[in-house]
Amino acid sequence: MDLGFFVTVFDSSLRLSIPLLAACLAGLWSERSGVVDIGLEGKMLVAAFAAAAAAHAFGSAWIGLIAGIGASVAFALIHGFASISQRGNQIVSGVAINMLAAGLTAIVGNAWYAQGGRTPPLEGAARFGDVFLGHSAPVIFALLAVPVTWFVLGKTRFGLRLRAVGENPAAVDTAGISVTGLRYVAVMICGALCGLGGAYLSVGQSAGFLPNMTAGKGFIALAALIFAKWRAWPALGTCFLFGVLDAAAIRLQGISLPGIGEVPVQAIQALPYLLTVILLAGVIGKAIPPRAAGVPYVKER
């Protein structure tokens, strides 16, 4: 294995980690405001479908990106309405989002294109091309979102208020700041980041939409978020680690290892999910979420 091999693996790992990173940062924004969101998977899936459908219809990857973000934000607002305005169970709402997205994308995709839920292949301007060091624009946007998230949440008044809403919403309300408004802003940012990740899956990384193409990435992003302890820079490192495992799984397929022989493809593909279990088993009880996360806020009268 020469230097070129490691450069290729690094490049592939970065590409594969982008959907995870976008979803992980999305969950960070939402849960820092006190809204638990396990519907990351569903929002990424609906964004991937909307992006591919719009890119195919208009022949533009950028229109596809806007459509993907719009669809994801719409689903995020549904989750926000259920969990913030109606004070519903946030876990149940997230599960409903995932189920709705999985069924809706398959049914609408089959009705529109009659290809088993897939969209037609995307070509030319309907896909994102390389803009910097062989990477497309969504990759740059997702990487830039890390320092932006770190700075806004940690160094600005808005970020302080948002984190305070996730820790002690009653104190924020007493100060005359709208808890509901801040949480809705966080939920919409969460939707935009999920839209970025989903659109990249179908319009950047792939050449169209496939049913359930997120393949559990939203749940892996949640595991990465917990392991990173709801911090932006550790989230980047954790997501990249999952990207390395994905890249290694692709490279190791069909390769015989000394003393083991050829490793089954299924065992290699299970590596990211195995790491998810290991990470969660190692941090449960140690990672402390925002104190108000998952608890609907009821304003005292």
**Given this model, what pLDDT does residue 57 score?**
93
Specify the range with the lowest mean pLDDT, choosing from 75-79, 141-145, 149-153, 284-288.
284-288
Percent of the chain whose predicted confidence (pLDDT) is above 90? 53
**pTM score of the predicted model:** 0.90
| Domains in the chain: ranges and CATH | 9-280 (1.10.3470.10)
Helix (H) or strand (E) holding 136: strand 135-136
118 touches 209 (CB < 8 A): yes
Cβ-contact 179, 297 below 8 angstroms: yes
In three-state secondary structure terms, 291 is coil
AA identity, residue 12: S
Over its C-alpha atoms, the chain yields an Rg (Å, rounded) of 20
Q: Which residue has the higher pLDDT, 179 or 4?
A: 179
Reduced DSSP (H G I as helix, E B as strand, rest coil) percent helix, strand, coil of the chain, to 5: 70, 5, 25
Give the confidence band of 105 by pLDDT, cuts at 50, 70, 90: very high
Question: How many angstroms separate the CA atoms of 295 and 36, rounded?
Answer: 9
Q: Largest Cα–Cα distance in the chain?
A: 70
At residue 292, the pLDDT reads 64
d(Cα 67, Cα 132) in Å, to the nearest integer? 24
Taking only the tens place, the pLDDT of each residue in 183-230 is 999 999 999 999 999 999 999 888 899 998 998 899 989 988 988 888
Comparing 196 with 296, the larger pLDDT belongs to 196
Is the pLDDT assigned to residue 53 strictly greater than 60?
yes
Once rounded to an integer, what is the mean pLDDT over residues 53-73? 95
Task: Count the neighbouring beta carbons within 10 Å of the beta carbon of residue 259.
Answer: 5
**Dist. CA 173–CA 249, nearest whole Å:** 49
Place of tokens 């949640």: 222
Q: Which amino acid is at 100?
A: L
Residue 3 burial by Cβ neighbours in a 10 Å radius (0-12, 13-18, 19+)? exposed
Task: Determine the pLDDT at residue 5.
Answer: 64
Residues 6+ apart with CB under 8 A from 97: 39, 42, 43, 75, 78, 79
Inform me whether the pLDDT recorded for 284 exceeds 60. Answer: no
Give the C-alpha separation, 123 to 128, whole Å: 9
